[in-house]
Amino acid sequence: MRRKILIIEDDEHTSHLLTEFVSGYSDVFHAVDGREGIQKFHSHKADVTLLDTHLPDLSGFDVFDQLQANEEELIIFITADEPSEYFIQSIKKGAKYFLRKTIEKAILDAVLERALDNKLREKHKLQLIHDAESRFKNRN
């Protein structure tokens, strides 16, 4: 099954590299700033969003806040900055995944695999809870 990945990244080289890494098994959509990223996020219903922390119009954290209305969204922060400051800030915001540029394909693949697997497990758990609640309501 092909995944949909949204890359919100203003650096053309990084965006191209990320696209090369994932285009074999994903449909890829791009945005070069935060506002475009938010619009494409909603219109394409991406499975995963790779989100740069520094964008020309909004910070990646501002974009993250707008995209996190539903906690099921899978957003991976990417940055070229020293990891500690942005890592701490992204964790406080609720991010679960964080990559530092320059990104290697093997690392990106491992993070995507783990993130998508966790998302699938969480979705399965929620379905089990929903099913159990439905069975309980039907008994009463």
Q: What is the pLDDT of residues 86-99, one digit of tens each?
A: 677 777 777 788 88
- Digit-coded pLDDT (tens) for 70-126: 566 788 988 887 766 767 777 777 778 888 888 899 999 999 888 888 878 887 787
**Six-digit token string for 31:** 């945005």
pTM of the model: 0.82
Q: CB within 8 A of 41, min separation 6: which ones?
A: 6, 8, 49, 67
∠ Cα 67 3 94 (to 5°): 30
Buried b (16+ CB within 10 A) or exposed e, 6-32: bbbbbbeebbebbbebbeeebebbbbb
Q: Are 87 and 44 in contact (CB under 8 A)?
A: no
